[in-house]
Amino acid sequence: MKIKAKTRVKMGKLKMKKKSKKSKKPLAKMDMDSFLQTMDKSDNSSDDEASEAQVGKESVQEKGKKVKRVKKKVQKTVVKEEAESSDAESVENDIESMKKLKEIDPEFYKYLQENDKELLNFNADDIGDAEEEGGSEEEAGDILKKEKFEVASDESDFEDGQEEEKDEEEEGVITLKMLKGFERDIQEEKVSAETIRKLCQAFNSALRSISPDAKSTSGYRVKGSGVFNGVIQVCVLHLRSAVWRFLGIVGRKNVKDVHKLKKWAKMRNPMRSYVTDLTNILENVSSPDILTILLKHLHQMVPIVVGVSGASKPVLKRLVALWASSAEETVRVLAFLCILKLTRAQQGQFLSTVLKVMYLSYVRNSRFVSPTSLPGINFMRRSLAEMFTLDLEVSYQHAFLYIRQLAIHLRNAVTLKQKQSYQAVYNWQYINALKLWGDVLGATASSLLQALIYPLVTVIQGVIKLIPTAQWFPLRFHCIQILTKLTKSTRIFMPVLPFILEVLQSNTFNKKHTQLSLKAMPFTCILRVTKPQLEELSFRTQVTEHIFSTALEYLAAESYSLTFPDLVVPTIILLKQYIKTCRVASTSRKLKQLLDLIQDNFRVIEEERKKITFSLRDSALIHSWETQMQNKGTPLLTFYTNWLKTTELKQRREANKTDEISDFHLPTLKRRNPQQDKPPTEGPVDLLPSDSEEEELELEKPLPKKAKRVKDKKPIKTEISAEDDETTTSGPLDIVEDLDIADWLT
């Protein structure tokens, strides 16, 4: 209360009692007690009737005028003292005084009520409004009561609010204490359905904390990351075992048809809600650590997912999205394991749909290939090939359909000969699709899918022949690798060597390079090279390496075959002719090494063939003879095994960037002979050698000397580019050429 209500009441009453002639003291200076005594005396006097007769309308009006004058003065005083607080007890006393005024002088009180209602308003907060508009007695009383209530209940209201918040936290908000109770109850041997239901509701509240759009099935609330992680931890660690104990299936290895158990009716609704929430959390969580934990938990809960009708489809949809995403490797592997387990459990219902969705996701995400995205694409291809081996009849339908689509694109490119039709074939999606079907048919060679090998090989050969220029040599080698892997896995003859040796007959490959490039040009992540790159030395080097590696891999797989001498006769003739005319030392040296290996293996197989006594029509004996030769080992196969180990070792070294320290040309320290060192007998010990001892410490610094010689001899560069490539293989360029990404990314 910011008003001197007591002053207003006293001044008004003193002015009203100024009619008393006996009192010489002015009413404006009388206090409330004097005013009341005067009023009592006037009531008890013997001249009461005469005074009432003399008081008329004019006296009442005069009283009103005087009261208004006093009121203006009081209002000015109130405005000045607006910031001061008044005592609540004084206000209550003034209110009681006004009630007595109504009983003592009802005529004057009625006049004030009719002509000046503002005087009866004691609400200090509404004084500004009271100056402009009046209020009735009832309104003034209500306001006073309101002020009295607010003053008396400020502290109690605050306390009540705290109590309500505490009650709300105890009832709705999940605390760590509640989590400990959930964990204790869920670990009991005889867990109840109500405990599992409450834990599922807590999991739903955790979902709502990260996804406000999620449907609420509980009255719990989760606040803070600590409580969120705690709820997830309790569910992941204890919910699965609790449900197993409740259903009575603890100890079973293969849990099937959970929905047929007697107690499943009590678990149906909580588990339906839990599986739905688990799927939604997988969609909203981006942390790899949390995703890893949730996917491991989901892999254990697959029987529950199968038991809940209609829950498998959204779960598979989310799992396929994680499998095809750019997440961490652990997340993608766990997502695939969940897909595999869930699909096997409902193979007849979801296998065809899952294969279709996964294939489309694989093709969609293999549009661009880079060193960072290549491992993920390779993982998708291998895992999808494993999915196609689950049911060969279903896989045959998909493989036939998609290989036919690839053949249609190739036919359009051959017939239309337009840029768009060529681009529909010569792209990463098409090549990755061919790699996938090569892996699928290689994994299921002796089965129903063997009938699709011929169409696939025909499509691959057509892709190689579509644009047989040097710019598309990288694409050619990708297709050759597909055919080589398919030959090794199926043991079916495929004409791969002609496509390799055609590169040697290319005019672009035999042209002398005009540019040097220190950067390697791996063909692993490219399909086409530009025209300036065709003139670089690195292009010739990479083509030579791929000719050697692909021919060696293919011939090693055929080296123990009975038909090997007949197979390599055209290759031997072509290599001999090319080596005679080749002017590039590095290329001729590689091809000469390959030719020697082929001839050695040719002689070994030819000698073993002379010892054969069985008929060539007996395929079983031929297969047995080839197996013996493979176990015995051939020159080509032995060399390929050692070469592969060396290449893998080099790849690990390059991946870890552990080059030898000598490559950096650091100075080396020559130590003295310890026999010549004599310990000092006298004098202080020298921590550093003196100037006279510099001859004993020799620092070899070959790098500055070599740098000066290279600068002086500029014509060496022309000799390297024109005639001899041996300097590039023995010098620093060897280090660059060894960085072959194709070896360790495949």
Query: Tens of pLDDT along 590-621?
Result: 999 999 999 999 999 999 999 998 888 898 99
- Please tell me which residue, 182 or 45, carries the higher pLDDT value: 182
H or E element that contains 700 = strand 699-700
- What is the rounded average pLDDT of the residues 691-700? 34
Determine the 3-state secondary structure of 710 from DSSP.
Answer: helix
Give the mean pLDDT of the chain.
76
Q: Which DSSP string corresponds to 521-551?
A: --STT-S---HHHHTBHHHHHHHHHHHHHHH
DSSP letter (8 states) at residue 695: T
Q: What are phi and psi of 698, to 5 degrees?
A: -110, 125
- What is the rounded average pLDDT of the residues 33-43? 52
User: Is 60 exceeded by the pLDDT of residue 313?
Assistant: yes
Read off the tokens for 68: 């208004």
CA distance 74 to 325: 80
What is the number of other CB atoms lying within 10 angstroms of the CB of residue 303?
A: 22
Question: Do 197 and 180 touch, CB atoms closer than 8 A?
Answer: no
- Please tell me which residue, 507 or 729, carries the higher pLDDT value: 507
- Please tell me which residue, 604 or 675, carries the higher pLDDT value: 604
Read off the tokens for 686: 């020298």
Query: Tens of pLDDT along 491-533?
Result: 899 999 999 999 998 888 887 777 877 677 789 999 999 998 8
H or E element that contains 699 = strand 699-700
What residue type is assigned to position 72 of the chain?
K
- Find how far residue 579's CA is from the centre of its chain: 54
Which of 52-61, 143-152, 447-456, 629-638 has the lowest average pLDDT? 143-152
User: Is 80 exceeded by the pLDDT of residue 281?
Assistant: yes
Look at residues 503, 545, 492, 554 and name the one whose alpha carbon lies nearest to residue 522. 545
User: Is 80 exceeded by the pLDDT of residue 24?
Assistant: no
% of the chain at pLDDT higher than 90: 48
> Which pTM was predicted?
0.66
- What is the rounded average pLDDT of the residues 254-282? 90
Question: Do 232 and 290 touch, CB atoms closer than 8 A?
Answer: yes
- Taken in order 574, 576, 582, 586, the sign of the CA dihedral is positive
Question: Do 478 and 430 touch, CB atoms closer than 8 A?
Answer: no
- What is the rounded average pLDDT of the residues 554-577? 95
Q: Quick one: three-class SS letters along 645-675? A: HHHHHHHHHHHHCCCCHHHHCCCEECCCCCC
**Predicted pLDDT of residue 698:** 33
Which of 172-186, 510-524, 550-564, 649-663 has the lowest average pLDDT? 649-663
What residue type is assigned to position 476 of the chain?
R
459 burial (CB, 10 Å; 0-12 / 13-18 / 19+) is: buried
Question: Do 350 and 343 touch, CB atoms closer than 8 A?
Answer: yes
CA distance 174 to 231: 9
Q: If pLDDT is split at 50, 70 and 90, which confidence band does 103 have?
A: confident
Write the CB contacts of 373 (distance below 8 Å, at least 6 apart in sequence): 326
Q: If pLDDT is split at 50, 70 and 90, which confidence band does 626 have?
A: very high
Which of 39-53, 132-146, 222-236, 404-418 has the lowest average pLDDT? 132-146
User: Is 60 exceeded by the pLDDT of residue 573?
Assistant: yes
CA distance 534 to 724: 18
- Taken in order 304, 307, 308, 310, the sign of the CA dihedral is positive
- Please tell me which residue, 74 or 680, carries the higher pLDDT value: 74
Look at residues 428, 320, 276, 452 and name the one whose alpha carbon lies nearest to residue 366. 428
